[in-house]
Structure 1
């Protein structure tokens, strides 16, 4: 790792280690307009430890329950809503404060295609509010996550 990159240890741990609650999960469209990406009241938690391990969960509050009450028995639309209404992954985190980037080194994810990837995101930290922009989606949308420290 380059000298200016901290694996969320030392300075990175002092700045980002802790428990964060999701404030917003938005998306910026290519035309510059912004909308809610995970519904009106998304829920989520991001936990980062002093060694640089993290766990992240985002859920759309409006996800419908399965009519059967059984996780193994659902309609295609129920499964789609469950998958598209959540994003979870865990692994390790590196921080480059000079470049203003975070990199999630994803060990496992609810979206299997992310497993083993490193995803770099530009971030801002203002007091106890952390926000970052995810790499644009194929359609040009840029997800934006905003978190508030709770510990």
Structure 2
């Protein structure tokens, strides 16, 4: 009987909490940290000491995320079509942007990003799930591990 009662209560709480958690995500968020957890467990800055970025989640399920390093270098030529290979490489590796639609799995505390387009072309037309949490006015999520084992972590503060 206790197991049945537990199941009923847990299920009801999930259905009651689901819309609330999803609604808490809606809005605009300013990036406050773009870190990575190294395979040894150490957490370090991934996009410099003062990264810039924003995440926006609409009530109808659309989103956009932009993350930029604090140390981006301008192209010496002043023309985006005349960068050197090193300048293009640096530009690509100092940003992470994507947009599309999203779903919230409130049972597992996960955001499912249906990525339309990304600054990394291999992510175009893919789906990615991230563990996330919202506490007070702070949103954070972890990206699945990179091939080298690093785990990116993004932290945002609510703008409105």
TM-score (normalised: structure 1):
0.92
**Alignment coverage as a number of residue pairs:** 145
Residue 13 of structure 1 deviates from its aligned partner by 4.4
Give the secondary structure class of the aligned counterpart of 1:44. strand
Residue 11 of structure 1 deviates from its aligned partner by 3.6
Say if 2:31 is the partner of 1:25. Answer: no
Question: Which of 145, 148, 151 matches 1:142?
Answer: 151
Unaligned runs of 5+ in 2: 1-13
Q: Deviations over 1:28-86 (max 9, x none)?
A: 00001111100111000101110010011000121110000000001111111100000
Q: Deviations over 1:84-121 (max 9, x none)?
A: 00011000111111111111110111111001111101
Say if 2:100 is the partner of 1:91. Answer: yes
RMSD over aligned Cα atoms? 1.5
Say if 2:133 is the partner of 1:124. Answer: yes
Aligned counterpart, 2:109? 100
Unaligned runs of 5+ in 1: none
Structure having the higher helix fraction is: 2
Say if 2:87 is the partner of 1:78. Answer: yes
